Amino acid sequence: MKQNIIIDEDIESCMAKAMEGVDYDKLFVLTDTNTLQLCWPTIQNFEFTREAQTITIAPTDEAKTLETLAYVWTALQQGGATRHSLMINLGGGMVTDLGGFAASTFKRGMAYINIPTTLLSQVDASVGGKTGINFGGLKNEIGVFNCAGSVILNSTFLRTLDHENLLSGYAEMLKHGLLSNEEHWAELLHFDIAQPNYKTLQHLVAKSVSIKEEIVEQDPTEKGIRKALNLGHTAGHAIESLALQEGRTVLHGYAVAWGLVMELYLSAKKCGFPANRLHQMEAYIKERYGKFHYDCKHYEMLYNFMRHDKKNQGSNINFTLLGGIGDIRINQTATEQEIEEMLDYYRES
């Protein structure tokens, strides 16, 4: 299902387009405590949001739990929501993931619109229909595929982000660049994310989303080519899970950036990815994202986190690798020894 992606600099006009022809009895807006303060005031006095009921949850991935989900279901129930109600998810990836799942399951499914407010959620979480929560110490363990009716991409909210959150989203854009072609990848490497031109950034976001959309359209439920979007994520999710377990939570995009370095090393070893491109990416990531520190005693834990990844089949650990920029190799497996070598490479680099 192709999503209705609305990209415009005027947020009110974006919302008018998204809600045109949508028939609903009650409107709910899900925010976290940050977006309630920073983003909700921008839209709360529009004609179509004045009557909305707000539901507010805690921010960060640590709140993406069954308890938070139950809190949202309860708020919908107590607010008189029906199957014909509409929910707007106003926030980052945690809000769009959890809100999308809450809407998809309440009364067996009500309509929802995503207004992603972080760069990460604009180019990744809010597009493509993946919804869910973390469970049992594992990321996105429970969820469904169900696309938002519309996704609004607007640079207004990006101006509220700190540099770290901009970088977090930019890692997913770098991933899309690696999946597309040399020209777009070079464009991303040369863009000044430290002092961004927001108009140019919105143009790059649109390009990034179109790359993801094209892949999702071919394979909505991740049976084949959609696995390309997991580049950097098998290792990245393991880093995130380890960081979460050790109480040193990291931003998703940072984990993906570090995971990209690891998986490009595997790509070079197994698929002939050019060494000069690996070193170029490694230098770029290290300069902007720093480094995630672990030692040999963490290897078994990281390996076990990778074994629990949803992309795996049987006992194999499944990676998306590259033969070159735009040369995608899905369903690549690696032995425990190869994974240890990958972890060694990153740790020693």
For the question of whether the overall pTM of this predicted structure is more than 0.75, the answer is: yes
Q: How far apart are alpha carbons 313 and 31 in whole angstroms?
A: 36
| CA distances from residue 193 to 131, 258, 279 in whole angstroms, order as listed | 28, 18, 20
Assigned fold of 167-348: Dehydroquinate synthase-like, alpha domain (1.20.1090)
pLDDT score at 314: 62
What is the per-residue pLDDT across 194-227, written as a single tens digit (0 to 9) for each?
999 998 999 999 999 999 989 988 988 888 999 9
CA distances to 92, 215, 315 from 309, in Å: 23, 20, 11
pLDDT tens string 159-172: 989 999 999 999 99
What is the domain partition of the chain in residue ranges? 4-161, 167-348
Under 8 Å between Cβ of 15 and 93: no
- CA distances (Å), 11 to each of 102, 115, 155, 288, in order? 25, 10, 9, 31
Is it true that 4-161 and 167-348 share their CATH fold? no
pLDDT at res. 13: 93
Tokens 């902007």 found at: 288
| 149 has a pLDDT exceeding 80 | yes
Q: For the chain, give the number of residues.
A: 349
- Higher-pLDDT residue of 311 and 18 is 18
* pLDDT at residue 244, rounded to an integer: 86
Asked if pLDDT for residue 250 goes beyond 70, the answer is: yes
**Residue 48 · residue 27 · CB < 8 Å:** yes
Q: What is the mean pLDDT of the chain?
A: 93
User: Average pLDDT, stretch 176-194?
Assistant: 96
pLDDT, position 221: 84
For residue 11, what are its two tokens?
């947020």
- For the stretch 111-120, pLDDT in tens is 999 999 999 9
**How is domain 4-161 classified at the CATH fold level?**
Rossmann fold (3.40.50)
17 neighbors 68 (Cβ within 8 angstroms): no
**Widest distance between CA atoms in the chain:** 60
